Amino acid sequence: MSYLILKEIILQNFMSYEYARIPFKPGLNLICGPNGAGKSSILLGISVALGQSYTERSRRLLDLIRWNKDQARVTLIFEDEAKSDTGPRKDKSNRIILSRVLRKDGEYWFELNDEAVAKSDVTGLLSRLGIDPENMLIIMHQNMVETFTILSPQEKLRMLESAVGFEAYRKRVLRAQEKLSKALGQEEAVGKLLKSAEQTLNYWREQYNRLQEKRQLDTKKKFLEREFAWAHVIKVENIASEFRRKISRGEAEVSSINNEITKISNEISDLQRELKSKRSDLDSLLSERLSLEKEISKHETISSLSTEHLQDIDVWRSLLSKGQGIDGWFKELVSRETALRNKIEESAKQLKELNVKSSNVQEEMSMTLQEINKLIDTITDKMVKSAILSYRKDILIKDLENMNNELNLLVKRIDESIKRAEEKGPRFMTLRNPDDILEDLRVTDGHLAALSDVSDKIESMYESYSKLYSDLKEKAIQVAENREKALVEVGERMEAWKEVIKKLIDQINPKYQAILSMVNASGDIRVTTVEDIDEAGLEILVGFKGASPITLNAYTQSGGERSLATMAFLLALQQNIRSQIRAVDEFDIHMDPQSRELIASALISSIKGTNAQYIVITPSQITFAEEDTHVIVVQNIEGKSRVKEVEQVVQ
């Protein structure tokens, strides 16, 4: 087993001490002497060396340097007393030398085993040793008995926890509460973030839906552009097919016209040959008629002349009939008359025949002429028809040439259209008119124009906020779980804290009451508002001379009563205080002699059986009837404090 004790304090130019080495022993160390001798300076020196801030707040450190000196040093020598079967161990490795140097120029520093260290190093070391110089339940300076009574219940409780080493329980509760507070804060923050993220996500979802709509419209537009491109190709191909059909029909018609023209040409040739034949026949008939006309004229002439001769003969006859001797003439005349009459008759006969023939020839000529005219008309018609057909053929050929040219252009357009259409996508059949598709495209473009402010970045924003929202939801679940865990942990930590505090109060309360009973007083120690660790406080109740216990404070009890109650509480704690080094200055202030003796006796009893090293400072003449009490007497001679050890004599 090992425990740390303060073996010695060395004061150099500190307050009223020029140089002093003050030894301490395990158990009770009593420092006594008249007021102003320098007793409290010893405890103040210990506090300064331990880095207590109390002195720094009450007095400047440079004011603690002895008058007319530039530097002061306070040194504490600790030893770890390790007891074993072979006895105490006395090697240097178990010694701790802690010094604090104070200078007039305001420079202060700590030294640990002759090496300069930071205050945090000293604080860490003392914390490991359980020494807290700030806690008045461990080191109670002059006037702190009064100070303790005016502390709030909460401060008293925290001081008690620190003194007995229960800070860890409070720290665990506070850490758990901090976790809970943090979890609640996180839950609230995450809730706000989740709500904000949900609102933002709703906005981006709406924008994402617009993006999806835009993409669908883009897809539709691409499909419509593809459909329009191939519909245009199909339309042009249909036009080209129609042109090919027209060209085919035109070529067939040209071929038919050529055949018709050839046929008409052949017919005209036949008709012309026939016309030529008819004209030849007409010429023959004309020649024949001319011959007949000549003959008719001849016979008409003969008949006319013969008639005239007959008339002459009639005249001559008439004349001859009157004459006589004219027989020969008459006979001759009769002969001639007969001949003429025969001739006239013959001519008349011939003329009749000739007229019949001439009439027949004329009729035949008329018929032939009609046939010729008919042939001419037919030939003319045929030629006109042939000319019309030729004109029509020329027009058709020209039209065919134009159509072929247009077809060639269409073929080029088809190739270009197919190339453009293939850029839009593979060929597919559509029965829709390009104009209808174009109208759909215009409508689609109109809808897309309304979505022109929608960019592809929206998707990443939506995904980002979706992930954020999802993460926040998971975070919210996690935070809720953390909150529940923190609540459970706070509950468990609180129960653990309440349990140890209850056990502690259950341990010290009977001792407190027993000590009070020695001075004819009663009291109680309790923890108030135990369900709220921040508001929980230590309430010390005390009643004197049969009065009911009431809360210890600076106004109700007298100075002596406050000192008695405070010391009763302090002594009741001694078995539980963690620090092995403890001190109290003027514990007996305002006490009557009997109370001093009773409290002194209780003090000895309270530390018996512990490893505590207790330093008690008092100006009173108290006899501690115990052999292990180490008495130190302090005197001030000519402005210098001097220390003397007194051997305690047991009566």
Q: Residue 376's pLDDT is what?
A: 87
* Cβ-based neighbour number of residue 116 at 10 Å: 11
Q: Residue 505's pLDDT is what?
A: 94
Cα separation, 309 vs 315, whole angstroms: 10
Nearest to 168 by CA among 573, 539, 536, 578: 578
Cα separation, 372 vs 366, whole angstroms: 9
Q: Mention every residue, 6+ apart, whose C-beta is less than 8 A from residue 613.
A: 5, 6, 24, 25, 26, 27, 29, 580, 581, 582
One CATH from 3.20.20.20, 1.20.210.10, 1.10.287.2610, 1.20.1260.10 for 180-424: 1.10.287.2610
* Cβ-based neighbour number of residue 129 at 10 Å: 17
Q: Residue 99's pLDDT is what?
A: 93
Q: Which two tokens mark 427?
A: 């060929």
CA triple 465-467-471, angle to 5 deg: 115
Residue 589 main-chain phi, psi, to 5 deg: -60, 135
Q: pLDDT for 170-227, tens place per residue?
A: 899 888 888 888 888 888 888 888 888 888 889 888 988 988 998 898 888 888 888 8
Of the chain, the percentage scoring pLDDT greater than 90 comes to 19
Cα separation, 358 vs 291, whole angstroms: 9
Q: pLDDT for 52-97, tens place per residue?
A: 765 544 467 888 899 888 999 999 999 877 544 444 444 556 889 9
Cα separation, 509 vs 525, whole angstroms: 6
313 pLDDT band, cuts 50/70/90, is confident
Residue 632 main-chain phi, psi, to 5 deg: -125, 125
Which range of 141-150, 399-408, 642-651 scores highest in mean pLDDT? It is: 399-408
Q: pLDDT for 594-622, tens place per residue?
A: 888 888 888 888 887 777 888 888 887 66
Residue 115 main-chain phi, psi, to 5 deg: -125, 135
Question: Which 3-state string (H, E, C) describes 21-89?
Answer: EEECCCEEEEEECCCCCCHHHHHHHHHHHHCCHHHHHHCCHHHHECCCCCEEEEEEEEEEEECCCCCCC
* Cβ-based neighbour number of residue 30 at 10 Å: 22
556 pLDDT band, cuts 50/70/90, is confident
Q: Which two tokens mark 199?
A: 């609102």
650 pLDDT band, cuts 50/70/90, is very low
Q: Which two tokens mark 187?
A: 């839950």
Helix, strand, or coil here: 537?
A: strand
Measured distance between the N- and C-terminal CA atoms of the chain, rounded to whole angstroms: 33
Nearest to 249 by CA among 131, 510, 241, 28: 241
442 pLDDT band, cuts 50/70/90, is very high
Which range of 333-342, 540-549, 580-589 scores highest in mean pLDDT? It is: 540-549
Q: Residue 146's pLDDT is what?
A: 80
| pLDDT over 70 (residue 267) | yes
H or E element at residue 388: helix 327-424
Cα separation, 442 vs 436, whole angstroms: 10
Cα separation, 400 vs 250, whole angstroms: 7
pTM greater than the 0.75 cutoff = no
Nearest to 69 by CA among 9, 108, 11, 15: 15
Nearest to 77 by CA among 182, 166, 4: 4
Q: Residue 621's pLDDT is what?
A: 61
Q: Residue 553's pLDDT is what?
A: 87
Nearest to 580 by CA among 51, 9, 79: 79
Which of residues 595 and 501 earns the better pLDDT score? 501
Average pLDDT over residues 22-33: 89
Residue 385 main-chain phi, psi, to 5 deg: -60, -40
9 pLDDT band, cuts 50/70/90, is very high
Residue 321 carries which DSSP code? T
Which of residues 346 and 202 earns the better pLDDT score? 202
* Cβ-based neighbour number of residue 303 at 10 Å: 21
Cα separation, 583 vs 42, whole angstroms: 11
H or E element at residue 13: strand 2-14
CA triple 121-124-128, angle to 5 deg: 140
Nearest to 586 by CA among 557, 548, 559: 559
Do residues 271 and 375 touch, judged by C-beta distance below 8 A? Answer: yes
Average pLDDT over residues 513-528: 92
625 pLDDT band, cuts 50/70/90, is low
Instruction: Break the chain into its structural domains and give their ranges.
Output: 180-424
What DSSP letter does each residue of 186-206 carry, written as one string? HHHHHHHHHHHHHHHHHHHHH
Radius of gyration of the chain (CA): 77
Q: pLDDT for 133-154, tens place per residue?
A: 888 888 888 777 788 888 899 9
Strand order in the sheet with 537-544: 521-528, 537-544, 550-551
Q: Residue 629's pLDDT is what?
A: 81
Residue 650 carries which DSSP code? P
Cα separation, 365 vs 489, whole angstroms: 148
Residue 166 carries which DSSP code? -
H or E element at residue 6: strand 2-14
Q: Mention every residue, 6+ apart, whose C-beta is less than 8 A from residue 511.
A: 571, 572, 575, 606
Cα separation, 236 vs 229, whole angstroms: 11
Cα separation, 424 vs 412, whole angstroms: 19
Q: Residue 523's pLDDT is what?
A: 94
Cα separation, 78 vs 4, whole angstroms: 7
Q: pLDDT for 222-248, tens place per residue?
A: 888 888 889 888 888 888 898 889 889
10 pLDDT band, cuts 50/70/90, is very high
Is the Cα dihedral 554, 560, 565, 571 positive or negative?
positive
Q: Compute the mean pLDDT over every residue in the chain, rounded to the nearest whole number.
A: 84
Q: What is the rounded (10 degree) CA torsion for 305, 308, 310, 316? A: -130
Cα separation, 152 vs 538, whole angstroms: 8
Give the CB-side neighbour count of residue 603, counting CA atoms within 13 A.
30
Q: Residue 316 to residues 97, 301, 332, 340: CA-CA distances in angstroms?
A: 219, 22, 11, 14
